[in-house]
């Protein structure tokens, strides 16, 4: 970026738009309390961040996924989850839903994808799963668009 247009980093975004951060964090808390498994929601956040090319969110959610108990093998194979037998039917449906929603500007989610997610999740769960995907996509656009630098993960 040029000297005329400095990069807006995470800390400056937080200081500049605290209401946005607070609102998105509040939505995250509502989703977290909805009953979806934490490892599952972290998997979908990692996958959406991979698809969106958001290094900041990817680094953050890889760390959260490990802390939530997602295996390193699952994280390593996540980009090729369709070929990896270690993902459950529920995880597969959530990942397929995540990809369909994240990429819906290219193509609307197919009927088979919608049917698949409803086979594995209740209507309430689909509502919160969809909200989780929407939220990580919002964060990806903020962090990726503003080019937040990934934090060093310890």
Q: The domain containing residue 41 runs over which residues?
A: 10-145
Under DSSP, the state recorded for 80 is G
Q: What is the average pLDDT value for the chain, to the nearest integer?
A: 94
- What's the whole-number mean pLDDT along residues 66-88? 98
- What's the whole-number mean pLDDT along residues 23-52? 98
Residue 3 lies in a domain: no
For the cut 80, the answer to whether the pLDDT of residue 154 exceeds it is no
Residue 34 lies in a domain: yes
Query: What CATH number does residue 65 fall under?
Result: 1.20.1290.10
Residue 154 lies in a domain: no
Residue 2 lies in a domain: no
DSSP code string of 30-58: HHHTTT--HHHHHHHHHHHHHHHT-HHHH
Chain segment 8-19, per-residue pLDDT in tens: 889 999 999 999
pLDDT at 71: 98
Chain segment 98-128, per-residue pLDDT in tens: 999 999 999 999 999 999 999 999 999 999 9
pLDDT at 152: 56
**Does the CA dihedral 84-90-93-94 come out positive or negative?**
negative
Residue 56 lies in a domain: yes
Q: Model pTM?
A: 0.93
How far from 23 is each of 27, 91, 116, 143, CA to CA, in Å? 6, 27, 31, 16
Cα–Cα distance for residue pair 39/41, rounded to 1 Å: 6
Residue 81 lies in a domain: yes
Residue 1 lies in a domain: no
pLDDT at 7: 80
Residue 136 lies in a domain: yes
> Per the structure, how many domains does the chain have?
1
Strand, helix or coil for residue 137: helix
């Amino acid at each position: 970026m040029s000297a005329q247009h400095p990069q807006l980093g995470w800390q400056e975004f937080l200081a500049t738009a605290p209401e946005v951060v607070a609102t998105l964090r509040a939505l995250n808390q509502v989703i977290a309390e909805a009953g979806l498994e934490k490892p599952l929601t972290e998997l979908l956040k990692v996958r959406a961040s991979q698809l969106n090319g958001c290094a900041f969110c990817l680094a953050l959610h890889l760390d959260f996924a490990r802390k939530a108990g997602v295996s390193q093998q699952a994280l390593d194979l996540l980009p090729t989850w369709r070929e990896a037998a270690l993902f459950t039917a529920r995880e597969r449906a959530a990942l397929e839903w995540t990809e369909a929603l994240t990429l819906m500007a290219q193509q609307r989610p197919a009927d088979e994808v919608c049917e698949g997610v409803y086979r594995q999740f209740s209507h309430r769960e689909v509502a919160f799963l969809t909200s989780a995907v929407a939220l990580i996509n919002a964060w990806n656009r903020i962090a990726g668009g503003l080019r937040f630098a990934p934090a060093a993960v310890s």
